[in-house]
Amino acid sequence: MITPNVESASRSGWMESLRCSPVAYWTGVLHVLLFLSFAVLSVVDPRTVDGLNNWYKPMKFALSIAIFAFTVSILSVPLERIKSRGIRRPDVLARIICYMLWGEIILISLQAARGERSHFNIESALGGIIYSVMGLMILVSTIATVAFLLPYFSRSAEELQISRMVRRGIQVGTILFVLGSVAGGIMSSLLTHSVGDPGLHRIPFLGWSTTAGDIRTVHFLGLHAIQVLPLAAWWLKDEVRFRWVSSVLNWSYGIVFALVTTLTAMGLSVVFWL
C-alpha cells in the first residue's frame, strides 16, 4: 500500500519532471498511447514479417521509448538544479533525444504499415535509406544521452540533491547503457542479431532466439540498466543499512550483463528453455 507521503512525493516528482522536460514527459505519454494503438493493430492486421506480426516491433519500440522518455524526464530534474549551461543544458539534450526517438518510431511504423522490415532491410533502395536514417538518428540520440548523463559523473550527489546510492546507480546504468548501445551498433554492422545459427526458433513477441546467441538480449539489458539500477537505489532510500544492498545490485546486474554478453558471443541462447 502506498502511504500518503510517498504518493504525494511521487506526484510532486512527476509534476517537476513535466516542468523540467515537457517534451520528454509528453513523448513518454504519447508512446504509451502508441503502444496501445499498435497492440490493437496487431490484432486486426494478421500480416507478418520474419514470422512475427508486423506490429510487434512498433509495439516493442513504443514501449521502450516511453520508458526511456520518462527516464529522461525524471533525470532532468536534478540536472535543472545545477543549471547546466550551453549545449549540455538538459532541456536541449532532452529535446534532441526525443526528436530522434520520434523519427525512429515513425520510420518503424511506416515499414510495419508497408509490411517490410525496418531493420537490416537492404533489399531495396528505400529500405536501405530508411535503415541508414534510423541508424543515424539512434547514433545522435545515444551521443546526446551520454552528454545528458555526464553531469551525474562530474557533479556531486549534494549538488544534484539526490542520494549517493541513486547517483551510483545512474553512473553504473550509464556505463551499461553505453555498452548496450555498442551491442546495437554491432548488430547493425553485422546486419543480424544472431550469433551462431540463424536463430529461427524464437520466443513470442520479443523474438529472441532460443537456439543461438541473440545480441538483442545484451542490447536490452544494457539499455534498461539506466532505469533498473537508479530505481532500485531510490526504492532502498539512502539509508546506511541498505547501501550494501544497492552495491550488490549494481555488481550483480553488471555480472549478469557480462555473463549474457559472453554466452551470446559464444553463440549460446540465454533463453534456451523457453
Q: Write out pLDDT tens, residues 202-248.
A: 888 888 999 899 999 999 999 999 999 999 988 887 666 677 888 99
196-200 average pLDDT score: 69
For the cut 90, the answer to whether the pLDDT of residue 88 exceeds it is no
Taking CA 69 as the corner, what is the angle to CA 181 and CA 78, rounded to the nearest 5 degrees?
100
172-178 average pLDDT score: 97
Strand bridging mode 52-53 / 213-214: unpaired
For the cut 90, the answer to whether the pLDDT of residue 91 exceeds it is no
25-42 average pLDDT score: 97
pTM for the model stands at 0.89
The CB-based long-range contact list for 184-191 (8 Å cut-off, 24+ gap) reads 184/138, 184/215, 184/219, 184/223, 186/215, 187/215, 187/216, 187/219, 188/119, 188/135, 190/215, 191/120, 191/122
Tell me what percent of the residues of the chain surpass a pLDDT of 70: 89
Q: Where are the domains of the chain?
A: 20-158, 162-273
For residues 179 and 204, the model is more confident at: 179
